[in-house]
Structure 1
Amino acid sequence: MTSTLEGRTILILTSNFGTETDEIQHPLAALREAGAQVIVAAPEAGSVATLQRDREPGADVPVDTVYDTVKAKDVDALVLPGGTLNADTLRADETAQFLVRSVAAAGKPVAAICHAPWLLVETGLANGRTLTSVPTIRTDLVNAGGEWTDQEVVVDDTAGFRLITSRTPDDLDAFTTAIIEALR
């Protein structure tokens, strides 16, 4: 892959535990390979203890910064990896909610996969949007005013910022491609 995203800064927002291994590692590697500076931000310094399919321990991913120090003006896009525990933790975190709302309000792309759209529900960003997710949170997204569809990736440009959503680790190639295309 060429350096198509050189000069771009992408934030991966995560908790310190329970993030789906592939859903953080794949975008991190693909976006860096595309030339972007990718920052992993979590509530605490150290590392992210990932899980594979919400069950087995996965690789630790180093945290670059704590997310209460990140400003929307300093990033070009936001990526929200899934994992049930990760997404459930972030959706209840007011600092994470504020950061997601700020990036969206700045008109910058927000990308969420698997259970991560739960944070879109909590921030009101699912309302009026067409999106996808892991099927088990479909009802939550519909109840929040979203139009859920079963596709590997959905890109919605209807509310002032590009929203990119995807279902599962099986869709990671399409998910990261959509992120890269949004920033070209």
Structure 2
Amino acid sequence: MADTKKIIIVSTDFGTEQAEIVQPADKLRALGHDVIVATPTGEDVQTLEGDRDPASVVPTDVRLSEAVGPFDVVVLPGGTLNSDAARMDEEVRNLVKQQADEGRAVAAICHAPWVLIESGVADGKTMTGYDSVRTDLRNAGATVVDESAKVCTANGWTLITSRNPRDLDDFIRAIDGL
């Protein structure tokens, strides 16, 4: 394990792909990192499987506006509904933009790179994401690759991206290895 990190997993309270929030939270905590889950509303996260089927409810540790940073890593789980709502949330966008501006890491999986686009931080980065998000990433100025976990340090900050839940082991390993 690399040095202990202060990590915030930022989600909306509905539509997050279950594995993409549960596995990073559980595994990064087990690796000794300080991990909190935050939502803009402070409500717990109703997850889904495959964007359709209700899955577990993930407890939220704190309302996003009450989260005390700075954070070594901001993790953005996917899920189409979650990512679409998160990219429209000014508080989420501001956190991502601030994290990048201050040279700290962001990790986004699946549809979550939409948040990077809306936050204005995708341009000049090399990244991956879910198949249907890749054209959006290119249009935002990113170079898109098809890799299980892409680490990009361009523009003075580290970005980790992955494609889907099958990539979670590599995604988590990249976060741990920062």
TM-score range for the pair, normalised by the shorter chain length? over 0.9
Offset, 1:81:
0.2
- 2:13 equivalent in structure 1: 16
Of residues 137, 142, 145, the one that matches 2:141 is: 145
2:24 counterpart of 1:27: yes
- 1:103 equivalent in structure 2: 99
Assess if the C-alpha contact under 8 Å between 2:43 and 2:63 holds in 1.
Answer: no
Q: Deviations over 1:60-79 (max 9, x none)?
A: 00001111223542x11110
C-alpha distance in 2, partners of 1:181/1:127?
24
Q: Which runs of 5+ in 2 are unaligned?
A: none
- 1:37 equivalent in structure 2: 34
TM-score normalised by the chain length of structure 2: 0.96
C-alpha distance in 2, partners of 1:173/1:164?
13
- 2:82 equivalent in structure 1: 86
Q: Which amino acid aligns with 1:25?
A: V
Of residues 151, 156, 161, the one that matches 2:157 is: 161
The list of structure 1 runs, each at least 4 consecutive aligned residues, that deviate by more than 3 angstroms after superposition, is: none
Assess if the C-alpha contact under 8 Å between 2:16 and 2:82 holds in 1.
Answer: yes
Q: Which moved more, 1:102-111 or 1:54-63?
A: 102-111
Q: Which amino acid aligns with 1:46?
A: E
RMSD (CA atoms): 1.1
Of residues 26, 41, 51, the one that matches 2:48 is: 51
C-alpha distance in 1, partners of 2:33/2:136?
33
SS of the residue corresponding to residue 177 of structure 2 reads helix
Assess if the C-alpha contact under 8 Å between 1:114 and 1:167 holds in 2.
Answer: yes
Q: Deviations over 1:23-51 (max 9, x none)?
A: 00010011001101111000122310000
TM-score normalised by the chain length of structure 1: 0.93
Q: Which amino acid aligns with 1:147?
A: T
Task: Count how many residue pairs are aligned between Structure 1 and Structure 2.
Answer: 178
C-alpha distance in 2, partners of 1:5/1:104?
20
C-alpha distance in 2, partners of 1:101/1:45?
21
